[in-house]
Amino acid sequence: MSFEPGDIVEFNNWNTGSFRALGLLVEIRDNPSDVEQISSWRADGKPIPAGWPRKIADVLHGDCIKTCWYHHLRTHQERVVT
């Protein structure tokens, strides 16, 4: 699944009772601590695990930015009750 900044997404938000929240995707970036770890591994000649650096997402929810793992994002689907 591919997302771009500006998409409406569902994400894990531990501050809500339902754990899932709706927000506007602002940015997708490398996890800063992974970038630091990779630099250390390269300096030591160690292999870098597949999928690193892991991606994180900044999501605008209400009036603040929440950060979550990119792989936890889900497409928002309207739920219609009939």
- Burial of 82: CB neighbours in 10 Å, binned 0-12, 13-18, 19+: exposed
Distance from C-alpha of 15 to C-alpha of 65, rounded to nearest angstrom: 13
What tokens appear for 31 in the block? 């996890």
pLDDT at 53: 95
pLDDT at 78: 62
Query: pLDDT tens string for the chain (82 positions)?
Result: 689 999 999 998 776 656 788 999 999 999 999 999 999 999 999 999 999 999 999 999 999 999 999 999 999 876 555 5
pLDDT at 12: 85
